[in-house]
Amino acid sequence: MSHNLLKGKRGIIFGALDENSIAWKTAERVHEEGGTFVLTNAPVAMRMGQIKDLAEKTGSQIIPADATSVEDLENLIEQSMEILGGKIDFVLHSIGMSVNLRKGNHYTSQNYDWTQKGTDVSAMSFHKVMQTLYQKDAMNEWGSIVALTYMASQRVFPDYNDMADNKAMLESIARSFGYFFGRDKKVRVNTISQSPTPTTAGSGVKGFDGFISYADKMSPLGNATALDCANYTITMFSDLTRKVTLQNLFHDGGFSNMGVSDDVMETFTRDK
């Protein structure tokens, strides 16, 4: 159902890989709400995913860019403004990667070159994206920048590994850069802390299926899906949330404020 919330708005969406990804669902919803955008992903991710299908479906162009390369980002932003016919109104940063996690290195036994790579992709890239947008004065006033994060940035989830540190840094960058973007350009910057979601990135975490069902039993409203997250992101891109900035917004069915739920307690008392 469309409300034309993003009619006439232009944006850049990072990280759409396949139809399970939050960025993909967000792109579909932005299109339905009347927004236009450029899709971008790392060249290697583009070979793996089906981003061309999404571009066709939404009438969008794809610009490959390595989000850790300032040169690539400068090119991406210049080309995007050319293609879209003006400055940018919204940006979604939906990028995260841990080589340690992918290769099975425990948190207590990291390969620090891999750690650095993960930090660069998952967190520093957000600073680079914003710095490039800021220096090029590429955002319209009252524009909105959103990055996706996860609650492991603030609490311990043992198997989330060094991604937890990356997300903590990502959230800090959102606040710090968000201050300058708000003060100088009237642009808002927020992070959305989403429920565990079965995406390509998420399902790389050990014991992920068990964790999804635990979070679902813990949350009074159950887990938020990728589509739910896309809908929330749309509201953050719209003019309805103009004064929301520097926030880490929990979108998790209530999980973040729970201590324990009846459903979870039942599991432990059943055998007594």
Known binding-site positions for NAD(+): 15, 21-22, 95, 167
107 is catalytic: no
232 is catalytic: no
Neighbours of 260 (CB within 10 A): 9
Please identify which of the residues 112, 134, 150, 179 carries the catalytic annotation: 150
Please identify which of the residues 107, 134, 160, 232 carries the catalytic annotation: 160
Q: Assign 256 to helix, strand or coil.
A: helix
Per-residue exposure over 166-185, b if at least 16 CB sit within 10 Å of its own CB, e if not:
bbebbbbbbeebbeebeeeb
Q: Assign 58 to helix, strand or coil.
A: helix
Alpha helices by DSSP H, listed for the chain, are: 22-32, 43-48, 51-58, 70-84, 99-102, 112-119, 125-135, 163-185, 208-218, 226-237, 262-269
CA distances from 157 to 47, 171, 174, 239 (A): 31, 17, 22, 35
- Binding-site residue positions: 15, 21-22, 95, 167
Q: Assign 36 to helix, strand or coil.
A: strand
Measure the CA–CA gap between 117 and 38, rounded to whole angstroms: 25
Neighbours of 147 (CB within 10 A): 28
Q: Which residues are catalytically annotated?
A: 150, 160
